[in-house]
Structure 1
Amino acid sequence: MIALLPWLGLVLLGIGMMQWGAARAAVLLQALRDRWGLPATAGGALMGIATAAPETAVNLSSAAFGWPDIGLGAALGSNVPALPLAVLLSWLATRLRPEAVPPPEVQPQVMEVQALPYLGVVLLLAALTLPPPIAGLQPVDGLVLCAAFAGYIAHALLRRPWVEQAPMPPGVAGRAAIGVPAIGLGALASVVGAQHVGAPLGVPDMVVGLFAIGLLCALPESWSAWRFTRDGKPTVAIAAVMGDGIVSLTVALLPLAVMGASVGDAAIYALNIGFLVAVLAAYAIRNHRRRGQAMGPGFVAFLCAGYIAYLGATAVLLRR
């Protein structure tokens, strides 16, 4: 076990580098959103492109090394806890304030612009990868997923109403340019480290990707929900998480589709897909057509209980 510590450290270092670079890219895209006067839901779509950059880089690295299940697991592992964590942290951001404030509410437009497209992407991915005759990712699947992303981003960016434009802060483009190579190097480090942690322990690559990379990538991304909600932007917080999920399950999977990646553990994979469908369906059912989504204690408890049940089901499948 002691011999695995340097590799685990490499995973953590790689994830830290990816998040450092993605944060700088996110600042640039947020500045562009303000510069163009795009609505909050469109801002979430742009932020999702930046925050999903680590998953894209991990997929490139895992495909290059011939470990596709690490990339596929990382993509799912960053999606599954993201929305429950973001909702929990958004609620805590208001509950822990000294003054009494109501639970945060997400604008109803998120349902049409983010939640329903996200659910559609998850169902599309399931249809492309789960049926036995066509199980796995093929190049044509990558084209279909990229087309789905193109439709989503066009719908998000062309939506009205637009808001007041703001000037671009100085230096954001330069900082983003420095962040991009950090994302690539971090992905290489995390993939190599994760494989060297999981292989000696006999842990499947998909599970390594789920919990050694995906979960750790989701933590700082979801933590941004706290900051956005504290700044009075809960809609941006949830829209960014959903936008990240859409990107990571469409264009980010293109490297794995090009190499024709198979699904290593179909049961674990199906469990993750099923959990995402259940969470997004619950969001849709609870969303009010006019008031949007209130992130109160009941909804928080429901999502957290669901994630705990997911962890229990994963443990059962691993013991089979």
Structure 2
Amino acid sequence: MAQVIAVWTAVLLAAVWAAHWGAERLSAPLRKLRKQWGFSVAAGGAFLGLAAASPEIGINVTSAARGVSDIGIGAMLGSTVLAIPVMVITAYLATRKSDLQGAGKDHEEHRREHYVAVDKGALTVQALPYLAILGVFALLTLPVPWRGLQPIDGWILLVAYLAYLVQALVRGREKGEEVKWGQKERWTAIAGIGALAVGAYFTVFSTERIVSALGIPNIVGGLFITATVAALPEVFTTWSVARSGQVTSATTSVIGDHVVSMTIAFIPLTIIGTPIENFKLFWVSLIFVALMPALYALFLSLGGDERRGFRRWHLFVFLAANAAFIAVILFWVQPLQSSGGAG
């Protein structure tokens, strides 16, 4: 069994890398579109998030097609709990460099104060609308009459995403820049879409094999295995973007990513109609899904208009919240002992 797990773990790692490689090939064209159309820096997180979440969309399409929707649900919930703390911490560590490329004149002061400055639009353009979307998602999936994911939910989630996208793009819009598009960029984007599709398929396929070998529920495999591994390439992307001086984009793209994950990425599962098999695991995870952006928004609001961002003690709070999530799941929900619903 150990050999089987090792083989499929290697396949999983390669598949996730391929999916995120494909997503990164799409992020550059989206960044150019932001500049060409004059959208704000905070709105850039919505663009980058669309590319960053494309592997999650592919995972749910494959999960729905293969009849293992629990893997998709687990991956979506697990990634949205894990990624905000990890990406904020990654951006913080990346900006500790004294001669940060493209950083503003206040960077050295921020570095001494253990502070990551973020554009004030990150709160109202990204964090608060995302919390509103989570409220809509909870309303669609938690009450007994509507529990689970139905086709009508997909339409509602699509409208919610479009409302978020429009407000993010319209607010703070300025005159666009002239941007040149090369033939190589177009072919690279097409290659990215192909890698994304292949990577997403084998991400789900390998997770199926791993959870089968371990004897654990699919949703648990998605929650702790697929979600954790899928976050790794995004860490490198966040580090690279922050190192280039685009600190706001590095710290807000994770919110844009999650908006897509909690709306567009769930549409494939709404089309086939997906029941919630382990309701206790689902609602507990959803509480922590909402807690992370709530902390994100709270920390941004504490600094006022001129000092929005994250301080070192904020990182420890994020880590504590993530540790609490793992502890609650393992020692109270106890998914490894039962795959049945609890609710």
TM-score bucket (shorter structure): over 0.9
- Shift of residue 8, structure 1, vs aligned partner: 1.7
Give the aligned partner of residue 137 of structure 1: 149
- State the distance in 1 between where 2:279 and 2:124 align: 31
Q: TM-score, normalised by structure 1?
A: 0.94
- State the distance in 2 between where 1:113 and 1:293 align: 13
Residue identity opposite 1:267 in structure 2: K
Structure 2 residue 281 is matched with structure 1 residue 258: no
- State the distance in 2 between where 1:278 and 1:4 align: 33
Residue identity opposite 1:120 in structure 2: A
Give the aligned partner of residue 310 of structure 1: 325
Structure 2 residue 122 is matched with structure 1 residue 122: no
- Alpha-carbon RMSD across the aligned residues, in angstroms, is 1.8
Give the aligned partner of residue 210 of structure 1: 223
Paired residues of 2:150 and 2:270 also in contact (CA < 8 A): yes
Structure 2 counterparts to residues 4-19 of structure 1, below 5 A: 4-19=5-20
Paired residues of 1:58 and 1:188 also in contact (CA < 8 A): yes
Give the aligned partner of residue 149 of structure 1: 161
- State the distance in 2 between where 1:148 and 1:292 align: 30
The 1:59–1:9 alpha-carbon spacing in structure 2 relative to 1, beyond 3 Å, is same
Paired residues of 1:228 and 1:237 also in contact (CA < 8 A): yes
Residue identity opposite 1:312 in structure 2: A
- State the distance in 2 between where 1:93 and 1:254 align: 34
The 1:98–1:38 alpha-carbon spacing in structure 2 relative to 1, beyond 3 Å, is closer
Residue identity opposite 1:200 in structure 2: A
1:179 to 192, 196, 203: 192
Paired residues of 1:137 and 1:257 also in contact (CA < 8 A): yes
- Shift of residue 67, structure 1, vs aligned partner: 0.4
Give the aligned partner of residue 281 of structure 1: 294
- Shift of residue 202, structure 1, vs aligned partner: 1.6
List per-residue Cα deviations over 1:180-211 (Å, max 9, x = no partner).
01111111111111001101322111111122
Residue identity opposite 2:91 in structure 1: S
Give the aligned partner of residue 105 of structure 2: none
Structure 2 counterparts to residues 188-199 of structure 1, below 5 A: 188-199=201-212
SS at match of 1:232: coil
With 56-65 and 265-274 compared, the bigger mean Cα shift is at: 265-274
Structure 1 runs not aligned, ≥5 long: none
Structure 2 residue 53 is matched with structure 1 residue 44: no
The 1:34–1:132 alpha-carbon spacing in structure 2 relative to 1, beyond 3 Å, is same
Give the aligned partner of residue 219 of structure 1: 232
- State the distance in 2 between where 1:101 and 1:22 align: 34
- State the distance in 2 between where 1:85 and 1:168 align: 34
Q: TM-score, normalised by structure 2?
A: 0.88
Paired residues of 2:30 and 2:48 also in contact (CA < 8 A): yes
- State the distance in 2 between where 1:217 and 1:310 align: 18
SS at match of 2:93: helix
- State the distance in 2 between where 1:149 and 1:274 align: 20
Give the aligned partner of residue 107 of structure 1: 119
The 1:96–1:207 alpha-carbon spacing in structure 2 relative to 1, beyond 3 Å, is farther
- State the distance in 2 between where 1:227 and 1:166 align: 25
Give the aligned partner of residue 90 of structure 1: 91
List per-residue Cα deviations over 1:81-115 (Å, max 9, x = no partner).
11101111111122354795512211111111110
Paired residues of 1:95 and 1:101 also in contact (CA < 8 A): no
Residue identity opposite 2:3 in structure 1: I
With 294-303 and 208-217 compared, the bigger mean Cα shift is at: 208-217
SS at match of 2:95: helix
With 166-175 and 6-15 compared, the bigger mean Cα shift is at: 166-175
2:284 to 271, 274, 287: 271
Structure 2 residue 75 is matched with structure 1 residue 74: yes
